[in-house]
């Protein structure tokens, strides 16, 4: 657990170092965040979720691609499954769990523009779009690492990162489900108490 915390701190330090070395990219992200914040018609929670999602994507992109100073002599790739150790796979899953949580929060806040007859189908479609986005983002990172020769393109990373997004998405849905059950239970007990009186 201590090694995992040190890795998270290292990711954040790499992102900060990269942001200081490349002020143009940081300014672009900052302007995007300001644009989200000042856009009228959005609730504060929606703005906060969008801002956090953009910051997280920037953090992952900088720490995994832009902040890496070593360059391999050749481009490296691995299409074999489960080649890394268990800790590395767990780290890759946990790395993208917050992204899944943020995407789920955005999905729960999003309402369809046209009335949907089946909201469950709408939510399932939103889930697959969010997970496809997380998988595509992971592929972009791996492709950049390969072509810039700052990392190894591995299928394991794509699978683990996408799995992490699914886990994060599922955790938020589970918390929302449990909170809904608790709320319904309290409402039912209050209704029965008022009926008894």
First to last CA, the chain: 53
Q: Is the distance from CB of 57 to CB of 106 less than 8 angstroms?
A: no
Each residue's pLDDT, cut to its tens digit, for the chain (197 residues) gives: 677 677 767 767 776 666 666 666 666 677 666 766 666 666 777 777 888 888 888 888 877 887 777 777 777 787 777 776 778 888 889 889 999 998 988 888 777 777 777 777 888 888 999 999 999 999 999 998 888 888 888 888 999 999 999 999 999 999 988 988 888 888 777 776 666 65
The contacts of residue 69 (CB under 8 Å, 6+ apart) are: none
What's residue 134's pLDDT?
A: 93
Contacts of 162 (CB under 8 A, 6+ apart): 96, 131, 134, 135, 138
Domain boundaries in the chain? 1-69, 74-189
């Amino acid at each position: 657990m201590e090694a995992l915390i040190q890795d998270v701190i290292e990711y954040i330090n790499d992102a900060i170092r990269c942001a200081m070395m490349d002020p143009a990219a940081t300014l672009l992200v900052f302007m995007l965040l300001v644009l989200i914040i000042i856009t009228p018609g959005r609730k504060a929670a929606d703005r906060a979720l969008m801002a956090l999602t953009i910051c997280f994507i920037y953090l992952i992109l900088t720490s995994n691609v832009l902040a890496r100073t070593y360059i391999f002599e050749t481009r490296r790739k691995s299409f074999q499954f489960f080649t890394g150790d268990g800790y590395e796979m767990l780290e890759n899953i946990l790395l993208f769990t917050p992204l899944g949580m943020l995407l789920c929060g955005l999905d729960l806040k999003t309402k369809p523009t046209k009335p949907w007859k089946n909201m469950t189908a709408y939510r399932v479609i939103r889930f697959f779009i969010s997970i496809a986005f997380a998988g595509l983002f992971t592929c972009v990172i791996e492709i950049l690492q390969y072509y810039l020769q700052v990392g190894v393109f591995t299928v394991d990373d794509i699978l683990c990162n996408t799995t992490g997004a699914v886990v994060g998405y599922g955790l938020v849905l589970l918390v929302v489900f449990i909170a809904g059950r608790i709320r319904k239970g309290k409402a039912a007990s209050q209704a029965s108490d008022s009926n008894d009186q």
